[in-house]
Amino acid sequence: MYLCYVDESGTPEIPGNSSHFVLAGVAIPIWHWKTCETDINTIKQKYELENAEIHTGWLLRKYIEQNKIGNFEKLSYTQRITEVAKLRNIELLTLQRKNSKAYKQTKKNYRQTQSYIHLTFNQRIAFVEEIATTIGNWRFARLFAECIDKIYFNPSKNKRNQNIDEQAFEQIVSRFEQFLSITSQDAKTKFYGMLIHDNNETIAKRHTNLMKTYHQKGTFWTQIDHIIETPLFVNSELTSMIQIVDVCVYGLRRYVENNEDKIFNYIFKRADRKDTTVVGVRHFTEKKCTCNICSSHSLKNIVPNHLP
């Protein structure tokens, strides 16, 4: 059996606040689950992040207070926390008096980054890269993803009347099903799969209903014979394995939106492939796109170190 952890990045609404919407799943066989969980927790412990959730977007921001503290990198973790807290309290008190909107936003930003303030910017980069490298080295894991360019997505040309989120979910389900079917044929034993999602009430309802339909009628691309049940929704705060998909969707979105390839190169190694063609990850955009995802789909320009 395979567990496929699913998460998203960007907003499915048009235009929303991102040019792309990315939905991704990382599938691992259950007999490797313990190793994966241990790998991630070991890295978290190394950076004293064992009780923190991995929110890549928040981890990889510059925290201005850290730059204001002299010799920040030479301080102990406890000293760093104390010094940052001091500056943050001063800032909040000032904002509270002057600007209630900025006060609320700043308070939220501080809350989201609170678990990471003992690490310098470079340490936080190193942490995320270590997680990404580890995922990239899990030869048994498979990455499935749909990266939709919202400028290219035209609802009026969409004959099946799907919205962005539905298209992305149907693609992930179909590709995971295909992977399970092929893996089962090769091993001459039937492998099942299950989707595990980061909990979000709106998505939970939508994806549960979509999955029920797929079980009855199949997706547009395939019957569903190997994926069981509707997705399970878990609290990402409590489950390290769902948090690793956050790193993957972050890496994919930064790549398709800004051409940043550091994290992408690590995790793209795990994209599901048929021979040398990437079949598990798609960039839904204009035909002339020459990015690594698009060119790996068409068998051109495959960079050797992207092969599994």
Site residues (CB under 5 A) for Zn ion? 283, 289, 291, 293-294
What percent helix, strand, coil does the chain show, rounded to 5?
55, 15, 30
Asked if 248 and 143 count as a contact pair (C-beta separation under 8 A), the reply is: yes
Minimum CB distance to Zn ion, residue 24 (Å): 15
Residue whose CB is less far from Zn ion, 99 or 301: 301
Minimum CB distance to Zn ion, residue 293 (Å): 5
Residue whose CB is less far from Zn ion, 81 or 291: 291
| Distance of alpha carbon 195 from alpha carbon 175, whole angstroms | 12
**Of 152, 234, 175, residue with least CA distance to 2:** 175
| Distance of alpha carbon 272 from alpha carbon 297, whole angstroms | 11
Q: Where are the beta strands (DSSP E) in the chain?
A: 2-9, 20-29, 142-149, 193-198, 232-234, 273-274, 277-278, 281-284
Minimum CB distance to Zn ion, residue 291 (Å): 3
Residue whose CB is less far from Zn ion, 118 or 283: 283
Residue whose CB is less far from Zn ion, 52 or 291: 291
DSSP states along 22-41: EEEEEEEEGGGHHHHHHHHH
Residue 134: CB atoms within 10 Å: 18
Residue whose CB is less far from Zn ion, 175 or 226: 175
Q: Which two tokens stand for residue 293?
A: 């995802």
Minimum CB distance to Zn ion, residue 301 (Å): 11
* C-alpha 267: how far from chain center: 10
Direct distance between the N- and C-terminal alpha carbons of the chain, in angstroms, rounded to an integer: 21
Minimum CB distance to Zn ion, residue 283 (Å): 3
Residue whose CB is less far from Zn ion, 22 or 203: 22
The SS3 call for residue 308 is: coil
Minimum CB distance to Zn ion, residue 294 (Å): 3
Q: Which two tokens stand for residue 218?
A: 């199949």
Residue whose CB is less far from Zn ion, 164 or 194: 164
Minimum CB distance to Zn ion, residue 171 (Å): 15
**Residue type (1 letter), 265:** N
Residue whose CB is less far from Zn ion, 23 or 294: 294
| Distance of alpha carbon 296 from alpha carbon 305, whole angstroms | 12
Minimum CB distance to Zn ion, residue 284 (Å): 9
